[in-house]
Amino acid sequence: MEHTKQLLRVAEIETVAPYVNRYRFTAAQGAPAPFLPGQFLCLYYEIDGATAVRPYSIASSPKEAAQGGYYDLFIHVGGSFTSRWLGRHITVGDTVMASHPLGEFCICPQTPQKIVGISGGMSVTPLRSMVRSIVDESTDREITLFCGWDTSREVLFREEFMQLARECSRVHVQFSLVQDPQPGDKQGYFTSQDILRETDAHAAAYYLCGPQEMYHSLHDGLIAGGVTLERYHQEIPGELHSPDYVTAPAEQYPLTIQTDSGSITVTANANESVLVALERAGLSPRAYCRSGSCGFCRSLLLEGQVWTDPGRAKPPENSVFHPCCSFPRSALTVALPK
């Protein structure tokens, strides 16, 4: 995995939907790093003494980076505190440190000719990168999109996707809305039967990006319908903010970090991941996906107990654990990777 960084400059900011901004980033030095359609990059923040890193899917195509010199990121600035801070404080001309592009949820040389993209809400952004890469002939694949939304006011890329589908015979798109569907839309959510009826389960690669509930509702039906695990891809599910067992007011525990020169003790809340506690203390812990997928944050749990989301990572094994999806259940002592 590539752990190098690049300095980006904000070239444009456009509000495209309620609380959603398009940020166009150009390289502050040299050229933006190349990537595969569907990959993400991380932005690094320093906010009031706290440090943080957050992943965002690249919504533009590799050719737009190579020839136009930019990445487009669509960010919900009414979400987490980092995104809200970005919406309030970052302006055109500012620079932001970022990772190089990362992730395996992407079109690669081994990807089959036919692709099925299934999205729920704002998670559609990596599929936009795939669609644009097909239209600008960065790749010769064919894609069928199923884009689901709750309300019409939230919908992104409807007109763009419909126009690209008219221009390119290798792009097909359908929309579903729970409320206020337009003519031709499905009312409600797409089911596995809806998707299998329109696609080739025995040949296509399926890319799902959305909330965990969408994955749960579609997985078994798609697999039973002939989609093999090798051709079934889910985007990382996003950061878990608080496990269900936590009740207010949240308990607090001492969190001790062992270093070569001694130790540092900070406070960890039961309703925040160990990673967030480390960031809140300004310690700049390693992190990328924040979902237990990439393993970049793996650390040593020397003392204490944590709860780890079983859907994202294994419980601590040989003292190794994932701070991004582990929550304190007692006083902790940890050692961070160097």
pLDDT band, residue 260 (cuts 50/70/90): confident
pLDDT of residue 2: 45
Average pLDDT, integer, range 37-47:
91
Tell me the mean pLDDT in the region 248-273.
85
Q: Indicate the pLDDT class of residue 145, thresholds 50, 70 and 90.
A: very high
- Between 324 and 156, name the one with better pLDDT: 156
What would the pLDDT profile of 265-309 be if each residue is shown by its tens digit?
Answer: 999 988 888 998 888 888 888 888 887 777 888 999 999 999 887
Q: What mean pLDDT comes out for the span 118-144?
A: 96
Euclidean distance between CA atoms 200 and 116, whole angstroms: 9
* pLDDT above 90 for 215: yes
pLDDT in tens, 64-78: 999 999 999 999 998
- 232 CB-side CA count, 13 A: 16
Taking alpha carbons only, the member of 71, 90, 61 closest to residue 26 is 71
Domains of the chain from N-terminus onward: 5-99 (2.40.30.10), 114-234 (3.40.50.80), 252-335 (3.10.20.30)
Please measure the distance between the N-terminal and C-terminal CA atoms of the chain and give it in whole angstroms.
16
Q: How far apart are CA 180 and CA 176, in angstroms?
A: 10
* C-alpha span between 289 and 140 (Å, rounded): 29
CB 306 within 8 A of CB 325: no
- pLDDT the model gives residue 78: 83
As a whole number, mean pLDDT of residues 243-261 equals: 78
pLDDT at 1 over 50: no
Alpha helices in the chain (DSSP H): 62-68, 81-89, 125-135, 158-167, 192-198, 212-224, 274-280
Cis before 211? omega within 30: no
pLDDT at 140 over 90: yes
Quote the CA–CA distance of 260 and 256 in Å, as a whole number. Answer: 13
Q: How high does pLDDT run on average in the chain?
A: 91
3-state secondary structure 170-186: CEEEEEEECCCCCCCCE
Containing 17, the helix (H) or strand (E) segment is strand 5-17
Closest CA to 327 of 249, 241, 263: 241
Residues contacting residue 157 through CB under 8 Å, at least 6 positions apart: 124, 128, 147
Beta bridge partners of 12: 24
